[in-house]
Amino acid sequence: MAWTSQSGAGLRYEVSGRGHRNLILIHELGGCLNSWDEVAGLLEPSFRILRYDQRGAGQSEKVRAAFTFEDQLRDLEAVIQAGTENGRFTPPYDLAGVDAGARLVQAFAARHPDQVSTVMLVSLKTSATDRGSQYSFETADLVEREGMRAIVDATLGSMHQDAKIRDRAVYDAYRARFLGNDPVSYSLSIRAWADAALKHDIGPVGCPCLSIDGGPLAHVDDSKTLAEKMQAFLSCHPRDGFVHLRGMRFHVRVEGSAGAPWLVFSNSLMTDLSLWDEQVEALKADFRILRYDQRGHGSSEVPSGPSNFDELTEDAAALLEYFGIEQATVAGVSMGAVTALLLAARYPQRVSRVVAADGQWFAPPTSRDAWEERMGIAEQGGMCALAGPTIERWFTPDSIRTGMPAIERVRRMIEQTPVQGFIAGASALQSFDIRAEFPKITMPVLFAVGARDGNLPAVMSAMHDAIPGSQFQVIEGAGHLPNVEKPEEFEWLLAQFANPAPRLKPLPPEEMDPDQKRVYDAAVSGQRGRAPGQLFAWLRSPQLADRAQAFGELVRYRTTLAPRLSELAILTAARAWTCEYEWYSHKSIALTAGIAPEIIDAIARRRTPSFQHNDERVVHDFAKTLCEEGRVPDKLFHDTEAALGERATVELVMLLGYYSLVAMTLNTFEIMPPRGIPLELGGSRARKV
């Protein structure tokens, strides 16, 4: 919890989440930042979230003087400014508001279009009639005279419908918070909003906008549905904006499939992130992609002096940290290739694979004079003077002669590169040597080079020889930028390398031998009605698979444990092992069996659930302790035996043993939920190396 102030009013705000996008949630009239608790909890793995209590609401300072819509807009600006002071909550922002909060979102987006990426307006009231505003003013008078109890039933009755209240406990907590509002502050808020609805015609916003008609309390009544709609909308609109790291402003773009393996692109000298446009379009369905303009290039900030590869590498590492990228395939060309290799050497825990295209591992002796000459040309004649000679060096004569359209795109990048940005990057290339770092590079590496890029095929062949197990590919008909000149060939190489074949070859029923088919058919015809994911690994040993899947049916369906308790134990084991497939398979079954959604959400977020039934509490605590610590203390054992009985306690241990085996199998052979299914436990589809 944190505080800031605006015009003498103290405002409470909170920043949470670990995702790569910055999302601002604005509550409704009569609510507070806690109104978004359920939605925020669902979105925190993918977003960094800022919430605040509006003036006079929640724990923000209570007010006694009238204020306006304009004051509330300035409050929002002040809270955002406070959130950016640590350098991590930076524009562009995604904003979501409900009811009156949606109008504030709309106004902020209209006033600050350069800071807003998308907006989501939930139950926005676009205008008000004189009669409606008169009713609001009368309500304000009533609250001031008689307090919140005078309006609670009528107000919440109009906002809620019993059919929509999916969780009575959540609703009751909201009602209690509503009653806790300060009557004077609340009445002043009503007047401010009613006046704004009459006088302020904000109009449409100029960014992607999602309008949701789910009622004024959609974020309370059905938080899961609202969170899913928001997530789906935002996944269709890549983040394109700026982050401030290491004293510099970097232009970044994040796009692709949520939950997919990360792929990071690093550009060459005199280019920007659009250098990778064709690769992103081809690969975004299978990867989550981060690309950025290196310092001094594109729209990133220009450094005041020369750069070096230590700085460029730390820039890339800071970006991975900022976006919460635990592991990624990092691809770079030319200057970006050196950056990618050095990043892999110094941050091996962050880099799963490296694609290095048309780069070197040290600057040859002639480099200093050559770069000195080019820097002089740029200083004298600007970047346009370098564009022609650079195009001739980078592309093959055939591509230039045929007027390849992509060449003109690269020419514009060169011409638009700031002179000082070019000089800074060229300084890094003048004198560097990363050969001593190569023994530290232990992950898979693909060296790719254009066949007609001078002596670089020979140089990169030597680099390949220096890293055992690395791959080396020469791309025919390409010069210094094979991803531009031969994009399809480059994309095929990258996709095959970055998204390798599964650890186990698929085993369709028609390819099974008789023993495998017998076990498979028994599983499909059994109580499950299908072949579970782990069986496709176990079938490599049919005899063991037969016994394991039969044991699984026994401990799941034929014990004295109620299905509700069995599924709770299975989810707890899946959480302990961070087994995404096991969680995906059993979450819906647990809901059907009667486990409350808030209990499941708490387990996923490693929080202690609030149980209404003692048997659920002891099963959860027993399962969690046994799976995480390998044993249970006396008190927990006796509590479990007292609640379940001796036989059921033994069956619970066997159930947990079986589903731990399942989790180990699924994790070892990287059997994941289908593509497009969100990973709820913080796992990754990226290959561990």
Distance CA 97, CA 120 (A): 7
* 8 Å CB contact between 284 and 212: no
**What local confidence, expressed as pLDDT, does residue 561 receive?**
96
* 8 Å CB contact between 29 and 99: yes
**What local confidence, expressed as pLDDT, does residue 573 receive?**
97
Distance CA 293, CA 314 (A): 14
Give the CA angle between residues 306, 358, 319 to the nearest 5°: 55
- The residue assigned the tokens 């650890």 is 503
H/E stretch holding 102 reads: helix 100-111
Domains of the chain, start order = 2-235 (3.40.50.1820), 240-498 (3.40.50.1820), 559-668 (1.20.1290.10)
* 8 Å CB contact between 355 and 491: no
**Both tokens assigned to 64:** 């006694």
Q: What is the 3 state secondary structure string of 333-373?
A: ECHHHHHHHHHHHHCCCCEEEEEEECCCCECCCCHHHHHHH
**Both tokens assigned to 360:** 């070197």
Name the pLDDT band for 431 (thresholds 50, 70, 90): very high
**What local confidence, expressed as pLDDT, does residue 675 receive?**
61
Tell me: pLDDT of 491 over 90. Answer: yes
Structure pTM? 0.60
Distance CA 290, CA 264 (A): 5
Distance CA 668, CA 118 (A): 39
Neighbouring C-alpha atoms within 13 Å toward the C-beta of 34:
16
Distance CA 260, CA 602 (A): 24
Proportion of the chain above pLDDT 90, given as a percent:
69
Name the pLDDT band for 615 (thresholds 50, 70, 90): very high
Distance CA 178, CA 180 (A): 5
Distance CA 655, CA 190 (A): 56
- Interval 550-591: pLDDT, tens: 999 999 999 999 999 999 999 999 999 999 999 999 998 999
- Interval 189-216: pLDDT, tens: 999 988 766 555 555 677 888 888 877 7
- Interval 290-329: pLDDT, tens: 999 999 999 999 999 999 999 999 999 999 988 878 889 9
- The residue assigned the tokens 């808020």 is 189
Name the pLDDT band for 163 (thresholds 50, 70, 90): very low
Q: What is the 3 state secondary structure string of 457-502?
A: HHHHHHHHHHCCCCEEEEECCCCCCHHHHCHHHHHHHHHHHHCCCC
Distance CA 25, CA 45 (A): 15
- The residue assigned the tokens 């007010």 is 63
Tell me: pLDDT of 131 over 50. Answer: no
**What local confidence, expressed as pLDDT, does residue 361 receive?**
97
* 8 Å CB contact between 48 and 88: yes
Distance CA 89, CA 86 (A): 7
Q: Which amino acid is at 574?
A: A
Provide the terminal-to-terminal Cα distance of the chain, rounded to the nearest Å: 39
* 8 Å CB contact between 142 and 151: yes
Q: Which amino acid is at 642?
A: A
The mean-pLDDT minimum among 24-38, 68-82, 360-374, 500-514 falls in: 500-514
For residue 356, report the phi and psi dihedrals to the nearest 5 degrees: -115, 115
Q: CA dist 244 to 84, 97, 155, 301, 318, Å?
A: 10, 26, 44, 10, 10
Side by side, which strands form the sheet with 262-266?
239-245, 248-256, 288-292, 262-266, 328-333, 351-357, 445-450, 471-475
Q: CA dist 255 to 355, 498, 540, Å?
A: 19, 17, 38
Spatial CB neighbours of 110, under 8 Å, sequence gap ≥ 6 = 202, 203, 205, 206
Best-predicted range by mean pLDDT (104-113, 369-378, 520-529) = 369-378
* 8 Å CB contact between 689 and 353: yes
**What local confidence, expressed as pLDDT, does residue 46 receive?**
78
Query: What is the average per-residue pLDDT within 471-493?
Result: 96
**What local confidence, expressed as pLDDT, does residue 162 receive?**
46
**What local confidence, expressed as pLDDT, does residue 204 receive?**
65
Q: Which amino acid is at 43?
A: L
Best-predicted range by mean pLDDT (105-114, 473-482, 596-605) = 473-482
* 8 Å CB contact between 498 and 261: yes
Name the pLDDT band for 276 (thresholds 50, 70, 90): very high
**What local confidence, expressed as pLDDT, does residue 668 receive?**
93
Query: What is the average per-residue pLDDT within 51-67?
Result: 95
Sign of the dihedral defined by the CA atoms of residues 593, 596, 601, 606, in that order: negative
The mean of the pLDDT values for the chain is 90
Name the pLDDT band for 529 (thresholds 50, 70, 90): confident
Among 268, 445, 458, 267, smallest CA distance to 341 is for: 445
- Interval 210-263: pLDDT, tens: 888 877 788 887 888 899 889 888 877 767 778 888 999 999 998 887 667 899
Tell me: pLDDT of 95 over 90. Answer: yes
Spatial CB neighbours of 299, under 8 Å, sequence gap ≥ 6 = 242, 251, 272, 293
**Both tokens assigned to 227:** 């969170």
Distance CA 70, CA 139 (A): 22
- Strand pairing of 93-98 and 116-122? parallel
Provide the 3-class DSSP secondary structure of residue 125: coil
**What local confidence, expressed as pLDDT, does residue 134 receive?**
66
Among 684, 683, 569, smallest CA distance to 617 is for: 569
Query: What is the average per-residue pLDDT within 490-517?
Result: 87
List the alpha helices (DSSP H) in 352-454.
Answer: 367-381, 384-394, 397-401, 405-416, 419-430
H/E stretch holding 651 reads: helix 646-668
Give the CA angle between residues 167, 162, 617 to the nearest 5°: 15
* 8 Å CB contact between 164 and 215: yes
Q: Report the interhelical angle of 183-199 vs 100-111 (nearest 10°).
A: 50
Q: Which amino acid is at 470?
A: S
- Interval 355-382: pLDDT, tens: 999 999 999 999 999 999 999 999 999 9
Name the pLDDT band for 79 (thresholds 50, 70, 90): very high
Q: What count of other Cβ atoms lies within 10 Å of the Cβ of residue 421? A: 24
**Both tokens assigned to 126:** 């676009």
Query: What is the average per-residue pLDDT within 85-103?
Result: 83
Which one has a higher pLDDT value, 445 or 203? 445
The mean-pLDDT minimum among 129-133, 291-295, 512-516 falls in: 129-133
